[in-house]
Each structure stands twice: as C-alpha cells, then as structure tokens.
Amino acid sequence: MGNIILIGFMGAGKTTVGRILARRLKIAFVDTDEQIEKEEGRAIRDIFAREGEACFRELETLQLKKLKKRKGDMIVSVGGGLPVQKQNHPLLKELGTTIYLKADKETLARRLRGDTKRPLLQGGSPEEKIGQLMKEREPVYEQVADEILLTEGMSVNEVVEQILHNRMK
Ligand code: S3P
C-alpha cells in the first residue's frame, strides 16, 4: 500500500484522522509534532520560544528523513507548516501518498479558538492570523498534495471512510 501522509492547516484533523486510519489499517501511526516533542523532551511551544521557528523547521525536516528509513507502511500526520518548506517537498514525495485535508477558514478558526499550544496563533487576533497563513499556504498544500479531500461537513469517521474508500479504487 505504501505510506499515507496527511497534510493541511492546523485544526484540519490530521492527527485525529491519522490515528483512527492507522488503527483501521492495522499499521503504525506517526505524528511529526508528537515525535519532535518526545525526542526533544519538551513542548513545541518551548522550542519556538527558546530556539525559534527556524530550529523547529529543521527538526521537522529531520523527522521526514528519519521516517524514510522506517520499514513497514504507516500513516504520517505532519505539522501544518511542514509542507510549506520547499526542502520537504522531495522528501514528502519519496515518503508516500500525500492527502490534503481541506477545511474552511471559519471551521478551522472555530476549532482553534482558545488554543494555547500553537505558537503561530498566540497574541493578536487568531482569526486574522489564520486568514493570512491560509492565504499563503493553501496554494502550497494543493500543489504538494497527491489527493485533496474536502472535509467540510464531514465527521472524523466519514473522513476516515472516504480515505479508505479512495484506496480501494
Ligand atoms: C504549525 C502547526 C502545528 C505545529 C506548530 C507549527 C504550523 O501542527 O507543527 O505549532 O506552522 O502550522 P498542527 O498542524 O498539527 O497543529
């Protein structure tokens, strides 16, 4: 089958969908954010605060390189900013099939309301930040993705079913 990589904006459901999908397919699940936090022994928030975003982006690229060496199929969910880095494009291509979980700005803003874990949304208006970042990132997600899944109005389980259904084709 090969690996499936879930990409999309913060709040798109990559981690939740990925975990269920992996369970259904009885394969491994890896979330690059979780992996980085585990290996660094601290929260992403702290990495951003102490070493800065550039350092975090390097850690993300390092994760992709490590994943490439892993054997066996897996579902990978990556942070919302990972596909934006050009150096990650060939790595994502080599790793497997990339699915973009696309959702509306309003839906994402609603899900991300009150979030304290994501450094890029802290301070000022989260709605404005989401709008700005979405404008920059959406074209990149669409360009990087092998498949685009419009998740608007769908439950987590429906998204999982849709991905499984598309695999059978
Ligand atoms: C980020 C998204 C986050 C996390 C970090 C930066 C981004 O992951 O990697 O806060 O740049 O969009 P999620 O997309 O899982 O929230």
CA dihedral 39, 24, 99, 92 (to 10 degrees): 40
| 3-state SS assignment for residue 12 | coil
Name all residues whose Cβ lies below 6 A of ligand 1.
10, 14-15, 33, 44, 79-81, 118-120
Q: Is the pLDDT of residue 33 over 90?
A: yes
Using DSSP bridges, classify how beta strands 96-102 and 74-77 pair: parallel, antiparallel or unpaired.
Answer: unpaired
128 CB neighbour count, 10 Å cutoff: 10
Give the pLDDT band (50/70/90) at residue 36: very high
Q: Give me the pLDDT at residue 169, please.
A: 73
pLDDT score for 168 = 83
pLDDT by residue (tens digit) across 3-12?
999 999 999 9
The protein residue with its alpha carbon nearest to ligand 1, atom 4, reads 79
Query: What is the residue-averaged pLDDT of the chain?
Result: 97
- Spacing, Cα 168 to ligand 1 middle (Å): 30
Cα of first residue to Cα of last residue in the chain, in angstroms, is 12
Q: Which of 15, 17, 18, 11 is nearest to 106 (CA)?
A: 11
Atom of ligand 1 nearest to the CA of 119: 10
